[in-house]
Amino acid sequence: MLLTNNKKAHFNYFVKDKWEAGLSLEGWEVKSIKAGKSSLDESFVQIVGGELFLKNAHVAHYENGDIREQNERRDRKLLLKKSELAKISKFVLIKGNAVVALNFHLTKRGLIKCEVATAVGKHTYDKKRVLKERDLAREARR
């Protein structure tokens, strides 16, 4: 079940390979994400010391949780296998390539996972072409 979607990711990047990564979350973050109070719009994934971290992802305060220690935009560790991390780190070394968080979703066992993708940045003319195709499709439907 999809909990949060990053709409800007497919607009700004050509998505290549996708991986399902676990997240290192605190209890209040799990409850807030399951309630749908999270956003991946301004988030990015960074490799630090051979590990992946989800940075700048917004998870809103949980009202019934501990008020003192709720940092909404803290760095969250992404949990992947070593072989997957090696593939991703090789891909990112090439200029213009990036790692993007696509969504938060719920597994059948009730775990929150983050879909991570390797991607290549789009140019402005690619983005304009996509907008033009959307407008033409909208006109055709009318």
Where do the domains of the chain lie?
2-141
Task: Compute the distance between CA of residue 44 and CA of residue 40 in angstroms, rounded to an integer.
Answer: 8
pLDDT values of the chain reduced to their tens digit, one per residue, 142 residues: 888 888 888 888 899 889 999 998 888 888 888 888 888 888 888 888 888 999 998 888 877 766 666 778 888 999 999 999 989 888 888 887 889 999 999 999 989 999 999 999 889 998 899 899 999 999 999 8
CA 112, CA 2: separation in Å to the nearest integer?
10
Buried b (16+ CB within 10 A) or exposed e, 108-131: eeeebbbbbbbbeebeeeeeeeee
Name the CATH architecture for the domain at 2-141: Beta Barrel (2.40)
Round to whole Å and give the CA distance between 101 and 110: 20
> In this structure, are residues 101 and 116 in contact, taking their beta carbons and an 8 Å threshold?
yes
Q: pTM for the whole thing?
A: 0.80
